Amino acid sequence: MSLAGKVAIVTGGSRGIGRATVLKLSALGATVVINYNKNEAEAKAVLQALTEAGGIGQTIQADISQLAEAQRLVDETVKSYRRLDILVNNAGITRDKLLLQMNEEAWDAVINTNLKGSYNCCKAAIRTMLKQRAGRIINLTSISGQAGSGGQSNYSAAKAGLIGFTKALAREVGSRSITVNAVAPGFIETDMTAVLAEEFKQKALAQIPLERFGKPEEIAEAVAFLASDGAAYITGHVLTVDGGMYMM
């Protein structure tokens, strides 16, 4: 598998699944733009790891929940590298609460980052990909969007919406050899899940046939495959990577 000569953007590349994805795409030869929102130091550390391993890339701060910032992220990338082959819409947040206690701010923040953020980045990137008559878009959804998750109605709605968005866009741009797919992680060990109560984690663990949580690198493998030539005939697909936690 090689991504030599390809240019990729990974949103939320400073931590967790995004970080692992940046390093995997870079190891396969892609030039990678590491997007982040707040954690400049962590983004710079990812860039350092990438360059020490012989890769090429840069960091770009942008709040992808804002269309103008997503557009700037894409414009700066294309200005630097003259093309954009792979867009990984990974940036995401949670604001968990039962609906009764969930305020409008928590609803809007999660929808605006996880769902609208992916719209923003795709909207910003699609013209370049259409012109190239090639491109790979990979959206990070979740098994919470497939099965629904109590205490996460905002997050489940955003991630389910992202699956519909993935399939609709796949139909729109397939004639230009652009594929649009989603990866649906289960329970992965990152900052996002580190804050969860131990009791909740144990209950989740009991539902995983492979009897362990996933690692960010295991999600990065799936993203890299969907970005590769080997996945040229796969589009509109949701690839679940969850140790068997959610089976349809």
Q: Does residue 161 interact with ligand NAP by CB under 6 A? A: no
**Scanning residues 30 to 69, which ones bind ligand NAP (CB under 6 A)?**
35-39, 42, 63-65
Q: Does residue 135 interact with ligand NAP by CB under 6 A? A: no
CA nearest 24: which of 230, 220, 236?
220
Specify the residue, 67 or 130, whose C-beta has the smaller distance to ligand NAP. 67
Please say whether the beta carbons of 181 and 169 come within 8 A. Answer: no
Starting at the earlier edge strand, list the strands of the sheet with 178-185: 57-61, 31-36, 7-10, 86-89, 135-140, 178-185, 238-241
**Scanning residues 227 to 246, which ones bind ligand NAP (CB under 6 A)?**
none
Only segment of 1-9, 99-107, 109-117, 233-241 that touches ligand NAP (CB under 6 A): 109-117
Q: Supply the minimum distance, in Å, between the C-beta of residue 106 and ligand NAP.
A: 14
Contacts for 48 with CB less than 8 Å, ≥ 6 apart? none
> Does the annotation mark 155 as catalytic?
yes
Specify the residue, 132 or 193, whose C-beta has the smaller distance to ligand NAP. 193
Specify the residue, 169 or 233, whose C-beta has the smaller distance to ligand NAP. 169
Residue type, 102: M
Cα distance between residue 30 and residue 7, in whole Å: 6
How many residues are given for the chain?
A: 248
Q: Supply the minimum distance, in Å, between the C-beta of residue 4 and ligand NAP.
A: 25
Specify the residue, 37 or 154, whose C-beta has the smaller distance to ligand NAP. 37
Specify the residue, 5 or 164, whose C-beta has the smaller distance to ligand NAP. 164
What does the per-residue mask of binding to ligand NAP show for 84-103, with x meaning CB under 6 A? ------xxxx----------
- Applying CB under 6 A, the residues found at the interface with ligand NAP are 11-12, 14-18, 35-39, 42, 63-65, 90-93, 113-114, 117, 140, 142, 185, 187-188, 190-193
Q: Which are the catalytic amino acids?
A: 155
